[in-house]
Amino acid sequence: MTVILGALLTIAGVVYMAVATLRRGRLSDPASTVPDRPPNLATPGPTLEPRRRGLGFLGLSQNWPGLVMMGIGIILLLSVAVL
C-alpha cells in the first residue's frame, strides 16, 4: 500500500508542476503585459523566440505543492526499500 501511495504522490507532483506551467500561458505566444506595446521579440513578426522568456516556471514559489508531493512520495518509496 505504501508503494502505491508513494508512486501516486510522485506522479501527482510531476503532473501538478506540468499543469501549473501550462496554465501560466502559451509558451509560443509571448504577449506583452501592456496592451498598447508590442511584445519584446528577438525578431520582428510572429515568432516562437521571445527576447527574454526567463526561467520563472522553474521557481520554487510556483512549484512548491508539486515538489512537496514528490518529496513525500519519494520518502515513502525509499522507506519501503530500506525496510
- Residue 67's CB is within 10 A of a number of other CB atoms, namely 13
Across residues 59-82, what is the average pLDDT?
91
Give the C-alpha separation, 40 to 15, whole Å: 31
Mean pLDDT of 55-62: 71
Domain range for 62 is 2-82
Please state, in angstroms and rounded to a whole number, the distance separating the CA atoms of residues 74 and 8: 10
Looking at per-residue pLDDT, the higher value among 62 and 10 belongs to: 10
Q: What span, in angstroms and rounded, lies between the C-alpha atoms of 53 and 40?
A: 10
Q: Is the pLDDT of residue 16 over 80?
A: yes
Mind listing the pLDDT tens digit for each residue in 21-57? Answer: 778 766 555 554 545 555 555 556 666 655 555 666 6
Number of domains in the chain: 1
